[in-house]
Amino acid sequence: MRKFLNPDMVLVMLAGTLFNWAAFVQAAPGSEAACSGLLAGSEKSWLAGDYEGSDKFLKQAESLCPDLAEIYWREARNIYDRLEALPREKRPGKQESIK
């Protein structure tokens, strides 16, 4: 019966994992701080109801930290809140496909 895990393959997978982790840890520490500041500015604008201002902060943060999921969550929240602020008769209709 063959071994399921080849020791050489385990070492290759471990090395690849460590390489990816090292690249993640060393990814521009200044950009993380800049993204945090931009997210804080976005939050202040959102709390004031300035969704366009919030979006501007988020676009800047997206260019610095494209892998940060928080940015995309906040963009979706801005879109949702814009629609919720519209009167019901001005909201776009729902498109349902029931088959």
What was the pLDDT predicted at 22? 44
In this predicted structure, what is the pLDDT of residue 85?
Answer: 84
Residue 93: predicted pLDDT = 73
C-alpha 57/C-alpha 79 separation (Å) is 15
Cβ-contact 14, 7 below 8 angstroms: no
74 with 59: CB under 8 angstroms?
no
pLDDT the model gives residue 79 = 93
Q: Tens-digit pLDDT profile for the chain (99 aa)?
A: 455 666 665 555 655 565 554 445 445 555 788 899 999 999 999 999 999 999 999 999 999 999 999 999 999 999 999 988 888 787 777 776 555
For residue 91, what is the DSSP state?
A: S
pLDDT value, residue 69: 93
Please name which of 56, 49, 95, 48 lies closest in space to residue 75, comparing C-alpha atoms.
56
pLDDT of residue 59: 96
Domain boundaries, the chain: 29-86
> According to the model, what pLDDT value does residue 11 have?
55
* Residue 73: HSE in the Cβ half-sphere, 13 Å Cα cutoff: 6
